[in-house]
A and B are shown apart, each in its own frame.
Chain A
Amino acid sequence: MKTLLKAALLLLLIAGLCYCSPKIAPQTSEVSFLYKGEDGTMGVRGIGYGNNRNAAIMEAQISAFRVLLFRGIPGTELNVPMIENESEAKAKNPGYFSKLFEQQWYKTFMMSSTESSGLSYVNGMYKISVDVKINYAALRRDLEQNSVTRKFGY
């Protein structure tokens, strides 16, 4: 009887831990190009997932930057990513990317951020779409000044 009770409690504990464990937001490339400003800015729409509204919004913003930096958006002016080799750049400049994403330095290049969809709940995560206006020229200059990328040329 005692053994059965112990087994049941253990099962309940495990089930509880699984149910309550925080979900890790998936990294996605759900980013689309909106427009190019005449002033060196770019408008992109990113989709983010998170455990709450704010986390989903931040993930959407970071997604937009991540795609701009490492992936590019095919069929648009941002076809070629700003950083050609992601793993090499991250290995050589871990401090820069930690500052950019974890310490939210990317926000200094974000001129505006507007929710373009309502918050929805998908597969246990909150999902939202955010239009971000990025100061592309300033971001590129920052990458060059921090030697993450080369200036135009050799």
Chain B
Amino acid sequence: MKNKNYLSLILIAALVFFPFSLFAQNPATNSGGQVQQIQPTIIVLPFKTEGQRYRTLLEDPREGFEKRIAISRVKEAFDTRGFTTVDFLGELKKLETAGAFTADSKTNEKDEIVRNSGADIFVVVDINVQRSESGTEANIILHAYETATGRSLTNKDASSGKFYTSDISKLAGRAIDLMKEDFLNVLQTKFTDIVNNGRSIYVEFVLDQNASKTFESEVGTEGDLLSEAIVDWMGKNAYKNYAKKKGSTTQKILYDDVRIPLKDQATGLNYEIESFGRSIRKFLRSLNLNCTVEYPSGQITVTIK
């Protein structure tokens, strides 16, 4: 009898305390509550027009070196600010090895590289070297975009001035040197806006082909239509009430700019896009709706079943 009581106690203790051990902080990675802000990922790419291939551009005997130098100088500018960018050539090689870019493929190289790199921001470098009897001049345009929303963050252009030289490296360096402080400082002000007002994500609500409800169906207990319930929830739960709806159709509701905080306002921990996606899923669940949530590059796609 006593043994049975002891066994029961041990079993109860195990049932109570074992689940806690599953979610306990791993002592090997315990930082004592310190939180390091997750930083944006930036990739620097050369400018290319429709139909051009990056490999062809970079290996062009005449202009390839100019482009490689320009990219290198821009990456250097980020390095001097203590910021490491994603290596464009490395990403290009990875995708080429994976066979992403075949001759007849309609794949958009830039989009593939940016998506595959996981970059939050991509910087396009456009260099144009003009050679004439009065000297050689390098003109550079830098343009930074936010991957998730396509928004332009900043753009600058500069010219090296004309010199009698064939050292394109120096001319490119000079042009970039003239604008890099201003370019990076303006980009930093955009980062400050993100820190203060949240980062932008793109959210899309889509109805599955076999969905049991439409956006015009009544849901919940207050007689709201599904579309209305979504709009209300997004407004309440977006950071600082910022949820800009792009438009809607019978099959989709699109938000092209929804702000989510960088840090969870309740816990101070990093707030990931998946956390917001999870909240959306739970909200729809509360309306007795199932959904799948996907996260293609800084976006949330919610497919309602």
In the complex, A132→B78 CA distance in Å?
26
Partner of A154, one of B80, B179, B189, B194: B194
Q: Is the CB of A154 within 8 A of B191?
A: yes
Q: Does A19 contact B (CB under 8 A)?
A: no
Q: Is the CB of A153 within 8 A of B83?
A: yes
What string of 1s and 0s marks CB contacts (under 8 Å) between B163-191 and chain A?
00000000000000111011011101101
What string of 1s and 0s marks CB contacts (under 8 Å) between A80-98 and chain B?
1010100000000000000
Q: Is the CB of B191 within 8 A of A80?
A: no
Q: Does B37 contact A (CB under 8 A)?
A: yes
> Which of B40, B81, B179 gathers the greatest number of chain A CB atoms within 10 Å?
B81
Interface size on B, residues (CB 8 A): 24
Q: Is the CB of B179 within 8 A of A84?
A: no
Q: Is the CB of A152 within 8 A of B195?
A: no
Partner of A152, one of B37, B82, B177, B179: B82
> Which of A36, A77, A78 gathers the greatest number of chain B CB atoms within 10 Å?
A77
Partner of A80, one of B40, B178, B182: B182
Q: Taking the nearest CB of chain B, how far is it from the CB of A37, in angstroms?
A: 10
Complex: chain A residue closest to B263, CB-CB: A154
Q: Is the CB of A153 within 8 A of B191?
A: yes
Residues of chain A within 8 A of B38, CB atoms compared: 154
In the complex, A136→B185 CA distance in Å?
13
Also in contact, A154 and B195, with CB within 8 A (given A80-B189, A137-B80): yes
Q: Does A79 contact B (CB under 8 A)?
A: yes
In the complex, A151→B80 CA distance in Å?
11
In the complex, A113→B195 CA distance in Å?
37
Residues of chain A within 8 A of B39, CB atoms compared: 153-154
What string of 1s and 0s marks CB contacts (under 8 Å) between A35-46 and chain B?
010101000000
Residues of chain B within 8 A of A38, CB atoms compared: 177
Q: Does B116 contact A (CB under 8 A)?
A: no
Q: Is the CB of B181 within 8 A of A77?
A: yes
Q: Does B8 contact A (CB under 8 A)?
A: no
Also in contact, A84 and B192, with CB within 8 A (given A77-B178, A79-B182, A154-B38): yes
Q: Is the CB of B195 within 8 A of A150?
A: yes
Also in contact, A78 and B177, with CB within 8 A (given A150-B195, A151-B82): no
Complex: chain B residue closest to A82, CB-CB: B185
Q: Is the CB of A152 within 8 A of B81?
A: yes
Q: Which residues of B189-248 have CB atoms within 8 Å of chain A's CB atoms? A: 189, 191-192, 194-195
In the complex, A37→B290 CA distance in Å?
61
Complex: chain B residue closest to A42, CB-CB: B181
Q: Is the CB of A153 within 8 A of B181?
A: no
In the complex, A137→B79 CA distance in Å?
13
What string of 1s and 0s marks CB contacts (under 8 Å) between A88-128 and chain B?
00000000000000000000000000000000000000000
In the complex, A40→B81 CA distance in Å?
11
Residues of chain A within 8 A of B186, CB atoms compared: 80
Q: Taking the nearest CB of chain A, how far is it from the CB of B264, in angstroms?
A: 14
Partner of B262, one of A40, A78, A151, A154: A154
Q: Is the CB of B177 within 8 A of A36?
A: yes
Also in contact, A152 and B83, with CB within 8 A (given A77-B178, A80-B189, A84-B189): yes
In the complex, A77→B82 CA distance in Å?
19
In the complex, A137→B80 CA distance in Å?
9
What string of 1s and 0s marks CB contacts (under 8 Å) between A59-93 and chain B?
00000000000000000011110101000000000
* A-B contact list, 29 entries, CB within 8 Å: A36-B177, A36-B181, A40-B80, A77-B181, A77-B182, A79-B182, A80-B186, A80-B189, A84-B189, A84-B192, A137-B80, A150-B188, A150-B191, A150-B195, A151-B82, A151-B83, A152-B78, A152-B81, A152-B82, A152-B83, A152-B188, A152-B191, A153-B39, A153-B191, A154-B38, A154-B39, A154-B40, A154-B194, A154-B262
Taking beta carbons and an 8 Å cutoff, which residues of A are in contact with B? 36, 38, 40, 77-80, 82, 84, 137, 150-154
